[in-house]
A and B are shown apart, each in its own frame.
Chain A
Amino acid sequence: MDSKLTFITFTTLVRKEITRYLRIWQQTFFPPIITTSLYFVIFGNLIGQRIGKMDGFDYIEFIVPGLILMAIITNSYANVASSFFGAKFQNFIEEIMVSPTSHRTILLGYVTGGVTRGLLVGVLVTIVALFFTRLSVHNIAVLFSVALLTSILFALGGLLNGLYAKSFDDVSIIPTFVLTPLTYLGGIFYSIELLPEFWQKASLINPILYMINAFRYGFLGISDISLGLSFGIIVLFIIILGSWANYLLKNGYGIRT
């Protein structure tokens, strides 16, 4: 298939995905706005005032980047996992599979769909945050590139989940038992310097720590981890998950009998 046709198939898939999540905006945009608003109210304003400063910033300013990134992570992942599994479950993934659309276009289309939702939710949560605190931007390029790369990474994770899932339970297990704990332990609410040495070192095996710290650097200019290492880890995981998903789609794992 030539590049023009590939571009049309790609944009069709992305448009289909965007139409899908906009159609169910009550499920896709309301929950993250409400949840993060509650975080801002409870942890930021009520508890945060008693905690005081964290790394020289008000506590609410410290947690805002992590909460925005958490919304991006969760939505990028959930969009692809549920959409892909839904298409598998109701067999309309076959619409794409009987067509000349290549497995790479399927991968890129679903991931792009997840990324657009993740970033859109990220923007909405950022707007909500502005009602609770002022936001300064230290480095817009770092901010945007970390948001984009993290969103790509978790959209790939969602695609893998969708490919392996055999029931709706399988779609919710990973976010509940892996993603949420790793996100909470990834330094959204604290600097790892506050932890005992052992737990500081243990935290370093959590990839989400690198993303949150890099993203916080973009806003506040502070990070527990070197920026280069953070980008390296994100890109490394994108390559691993991307190759893995590509391999599964090429061989029809979970979608062909």
Chain B
Amino acid sequence: MRKILIVEDDRALASEQRRLLQDAGYDADVLNTGFSDPERAARTIAEAMPDLVLLDIGLAGGSGTLKIGASGPLTGGASVYGLAVQNAAQMAVDEINEAGGLNGMQFEFSMLDDKNDASTIATNYASLFEDGMQVSLGTVTSKPGLEFKNLSKEDNVFFLTPSASADAIPEFDNGYQLCFADGNQGAAAAKYVNDNLAGNTIGVLYKSDDVYSTGILNQFKDTLDDSVQLIEASFMGETVASFDSQINLLKGCKFIFMPIYYTPASQFMVQAKNVIAPDAVYYGCDGLDGIETGVEGFDIYTIPQEISFLSHFNSKATEGPAADFIQKYVDKYGAETLNQFGAAAYDCIYALYGAMKQAIDNGKEITADTSASDLCDILKEIFNGGYSFTGVTGEYANGAQTSMSWNANGYVNKAAVKYIVKEAGATAPAK
């Protein structure tokens, strides 16, 4: 039987061609090495010894693009995060390509829908990898991300996730986070307090039977400066009978750290609004994200105190790189999907671009044909070697954006932003 080898980067087309040729009585096979590794392709052709090669022209790997893959929820309840990542990453890729790419090599970004469902990741990952993904943004959310990190480890694919914040995401040496890991919020919050409130007395309200809350608190205390006096108050259970005692403990504090979720926080704020000083600050972690709308009947504008939480991006920024990003993003995609996820994805693309540029400057060779595994080794060396990057996330202070770096565990190290949900004494904006 005559042997025909199909070299085609469109997988649907390739399998259809194979079916037709097989129906016509040929031994047809598809070469699917991803075209990013010409040596492997040549080896396969040599091994197969075909009578005929059906070669596509303008194959992706050969025409000078570097493929970045990602997976995220583009439909379903969490789609606002996935769409933000897709939009912002595409925006960054377009900007880089317009400016001439990486030494003339263009970037290509593709993202598959995982509906925030971990069971879709095996298929998504296989599609991305077979399609020639050389480097990745991993996943947008944590649960699928825990699956993704295992698969990418097997093939040694480097990923830098914008927003999958579970502590275990960067478990292996090929995974990095641009967002704060859940457990690192405590340290980031303590750094904020050390920088801004040294010598003061602050309060903390935590939930003693919740590992999210106690985990952040312990790390917060470890990092907190000795000059800061800490008054601790705690509660437990899903419903709290009364915050009277806790309010009594915290009533002298002008700054109250709240590593808790927004439901008990809203109850505390309502009960404490007349007792805690009106110019006091409530400072939470990502558990307070959504407090404006999360509890029906709770109006943040009835609370005189300032409500804020730790974040890495200020979506209300009026100056600095964050403001520029907001302007560009809203012009292109509208304000509906503007959030910290998009900003982080934008930074991820530029951080990868910067790292690759630095590697090339160091004499490493990165081309459109560099395999994912080789690129992963190159990037690991850069990210572990004190690579520092300045983007749109992180703190903007004294007219300059602060930079971020990564530690050997893959966790990001950057200054947190105090995101103000509502300023002290603010009234509801007119509709």
A binds B: no
Binding site for B on A (CB under 8 A): none
Binding site for A on B (CB under 8 A): none
